[in-house]
Every structure is written in C-alpha cells, then in structure tokens.
C-alpha cells in the first residue's frame, strides 16, 4: 500500500508544477490549497530536495520549484524516493535476503509478474500526465 507520504508528495509536486510560473511556490500556499498539514509537507520536502526533484529558497519571496521537467519525472521516481518499499511481497524487496524456498516456491513467478506490472505502470506515468487529468466536483 502506498503511504500518505507518497500520495502527498505527488499532490505537492503537482501543485508546485501548476503554480510555479510566477516563481517559487510557498509551501504554506500548497498546504492551504491541498488541505494538508504544513508540518507534514515539511517532512516530505527534504527527500525531494536531496534527490534533485525540488529546489527551495528560504525567506520572503521564497518557496519551492520543480528542478526536473514534469514530462521527465515519473510517478515511479517519486514513489521510490518517498516509500521504503514498493514490492508486493517481502522476498522481492530491495536488499531482501534470498528466500530459502525461492527455488521451489509455486507463487514466485506470480509475485514477480505483479511487481513488474506495478513498476512498469508507475514508470509509464509522468507528473505531466497527472497534470493533464481533469477532476470533476
């Protein structure tokens, strides 16, 4: 399951991408528009800046802006930064110990296939794709 950290990171990035035409976007404005806690957003920002997704400027007139073009930034990029794991089962997690039953596991091919489908899908969607989505009230 994708945590609030991953979901909120996507919402923050979409908001910044939609509002950065006039410069840096203050996170208090993003928090208000998105109905998110500013304190929670502030916990997500370091990972996004450390990984070269956002750039921040402190002080009056400051805020954040995307460093990567929205059409070059995939949902998979963001979820891999914000989530500790995307694998559907523990034996497929990055860095997991080799399962003793792997060679005789009747379900490993299924889990590997599901993992591939998940990763292919999240890597096929960009921030630009999500920006094009129209929402109905």
Q: What is the residue-wise DSSP string for 60-98?
A: TT-EEEESS-GGG-BHHHHHHHH-S---SSGGGSTTPPP
Q: State pTM to two decimals.
A: 0.89
Query: No. of H helices and E strands in the chain?
Result: 6, 2
Whole-number average pLDDT of the chain: 93
Residue 112: both structure tokens together: 């590997």
CA distances from 45 to 12, 17, 37, 58, 65 (A): 9, 14, 13, 13, 11
Residue 136 pLDDT greater than 60, yes or no: no
Is 70 exceeded by the pLDDT of residue 115? yes
Tell me the per-residue pLDDT of 21-62, one tens digit each, with 9 for 90 and over.
989 999 999 999 999 999 999 999 999 999 999 999 998 889
Which has the closest alpha carbon to 43: 71, 89, 6, 93? 6
Asked whether residue 102 carries a pLDDT value surpassing 90, the answer given is no
């Amino acid at each position: 399951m994708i945590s609030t950290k991953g979901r909120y990171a996507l919402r923050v990035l979409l908001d910044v991408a939609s509002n950065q035409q006039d410069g840096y976007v203050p996170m208090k404005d993003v928090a208000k528009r998105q109905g998110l806690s500013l304190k929670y957003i502030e916990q997500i920002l370091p990972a996004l800046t450390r990984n070269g997704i956002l750039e921040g400027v402190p002080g009056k007139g400051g805020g954040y802006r995307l460093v990567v073009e929205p059409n070059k930034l995939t949902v998979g990029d963001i979820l891999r930064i914000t989530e500790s794991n995307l694998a559907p089962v523990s034996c497929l997690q990055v860095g997991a110990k080799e399962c003793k039953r792997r060679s005789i596991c009747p379900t490993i091919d299924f889990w590997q296939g599901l993992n591939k489908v998940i990763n292919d899908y999240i890597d096929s969607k960009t921030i630009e794709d999500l920006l094009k989505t129209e929402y109905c009230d």
